[in-house]
Chains A and B, each alone.
Chain A
Amino acid sequence: MKEMNDTENYTDREWEELSSILSDEKNGNKDLFSRFMAEDRHKTIKYWKELKEMNIDKEIDIDKAWNKLYSRLDENGLITEAPVIRKSFIRNTYFRVAAIALLLVGMGSGLLYISDKGLISRKTTVATTDNQKNLQVTLPDGSNIYLNRNTKLSYMKDFNRHGRNVTLSGEAFFEIARDENNPFSVDAGNARVKVLGTSFNVITSNSDSAVEVFVKTGQVEVTDNDDTNNLILDPGFVGTVYPERSEKSVNTDPNYMAWNTGLLVYDGQTLDIVFRDLKRVYNMDIVADDLEILSNTWTSPIDNQSQETIIRIICASFNLSYTKDGNVYHLSGK
């Protein structure tokens, strides 16, 4: 066989497995690896590994590098805008958002800096897209917040100085560092959530514009906009603030926090409920071509498996087959 073609000796699946073995991700199939090694005239294995190994000795400080580059650009007159407060991007998933939002919440204009491309505030905003969930944000006080899909969280840069306050739209789980002297509050739609140190989940994206708060640990106080309907919530309770009224109840859904944990548990629920949860938690679209399929019941847990695995287990359980159309799985009887 000609050298140029020897990549055709392996299937795509085998290339995947080989790359996992060479990248030390898993042990994999020994025979496959031996065959590859025996044919490795071009030292693929050696170079693949070396690319990584020759580089691990020194830390690279991005902030320092950016500041150096920025100063150099500035010295050469290449930064034309008025001085703005530049802040670190913690990974590229953090976005700067124009200050329009700031105006909406009615903060003073003294905090705004004008630049040639618009307004940049001293506010930090973190947002997730449709494909992103569980983005972890660590606040200056050490509190952790996990954002679900399509969620936006913002807070002032000097957040610790004048009371701990953040603004949320979407859904997020909060783990708040305890500070008796400095309460933590969340402005969420038409509700405000106030705590000293606890963990809880907030949803503002419900279709009826109700704000929902679920408490995992500690105690949480929820008030509405005009401070008339106060709810005190203990662990396990869900409080809902509607525009006109508030109510609380004990949470009975074991999968309430599944978007964050990835774990779904069932005890004989029908597949339509399971599919609704899979959409919510794994962003997985499943369509049953025959509605009979949906009345089957399900009792096993689903715990962070890949979409492919999940759909295969479902098919095997009920003797179904599936086809994939774009991102949508279609189920039908065999």
Chain B
Amino acid sequence: MPGDSEIIRRIRQGDTGQFESLFRSSYVSLVRYARTLIKDHDTAEEIVQDLFFRIWKDRERLQIESSLNGYLYRAVHNRCLHYLNHIKVVEKYAREIAFNETENNETPDDILNYRDLQAKIAGILERLPEKCGKIFCMSRFEGLKYSEIAHKLSISVKTVEANMGRALKEFRKALAE
């Protein structure tokens, strides 16, 4: 697979094949990520599709400073927040979470943490190296086993383990911040 800057360059030049390939390789992960913030599945899918629509529409102006993966998650994150604010469902959402959480005897603190979590993950993904972030997403958002990730990326399970260790450390660090 080509590297990030090559993928971006090709998309800027109007390479639909590259665009399709990026869409297909990141769609499931991004939708599942959006779902952690937005409870409605169809809306989560729409948000991710809309992001890709914009990327293609404005491809000539596409500027990505961080990793491509980090950029996509950050963008989905911002769009989810925007959506939540826009339709003013934040309170409803909070109530929903509160309702769900009371069943598990959670404290109100958890509700705040829970929403902050999204921001933290976007931050983590920007700090982690591209491949490490990808592995983290495949494990946590696509629900793949280490062996499945290893097979998909043609790397050893050992490499997956090492990268997941690094991701967990970063995750813990971000939660403590």
Q: Residues on A close to B: CB < 8 A?
A: 3-4, 6-7, 10, 12-20, 22-23, 25, 41-44, 47-48, 51-52, 54-56, 58, 60, 62, 65-66, 68-69, 72-73, 76, 78-81, 86, 89, 91-93, 96, 116-117, 129, 131-133, 306-308
Contact = CB atoms under 8 A, between A and B. Distances in A.
Contacts of A13: 165
B16 interface: yes
B175 A47 contact: yes
Contact of A76 (B57, B152, B154, B165): B57
20 contacts: A12-B166, A23-B146, A41-B176, A42-B175, A47-B171, A47-B175, A48-B140, A48-B168, A51-B141, A62-B24, A62-B27, A65-B27, A66-B20, A69-B23, A86-B20, A89-B21, A91-B152, A93-B1, A117-B17, A308-B158
Contacts of B158: 306, 308
Interface of B: 1, 14-17, 20-21, 23-25, 27-28, 31-32, 35-36, 41, 45, 48-49, 52-53, 56-57, 110, 113, 117, 121, 139-141, 143, 145-146, 152, 154-158, 161-162, 164-169, 171-173, 175-177
B152 A54 contact: no
Nearest to B42: A58
Nearest to A79: B16
B56 A20 contact: no
Contacts of B27: 60, 62, 65-66
A18 B117 CA distance: 20
Nearest to A57: B41
Nearest to B23: A66
A22 to B, nearest CB: 7
Contact of A12 (B23, B139, B143, B165): B165
A23 B165 contact: no
A92 B140 contact: no
A13 B175 CA distance: 21
A253 to B, nearest CB: 25
Nearest to B59: A78
Nearest to A22: B168
Which residue, of B15, B21, B145, B157, has the highest number of chain A Cβ atoms within 10 A?
B21
Contacts of A58: 41
A43 B175 contact: yes
Given A42-B175, A43-B110, A44-B175, A62 B165 contact: no
Given A16-B164, A16-B165, 9 more contacts: A6-B172, A15-B168, A16-B161, A25-B161, A89-B20, A93-B1, A96-B17, A306-B158, A308-B158
A77 to B, nearest CB: 10
Given A16-B164, A69-B52, A132-B154, A51 B140 contact: yes
A321 to B, nearest CB: 20
Nearest to B165: A16
A19 B176 contact: no
A44 B152 CA distance: 27
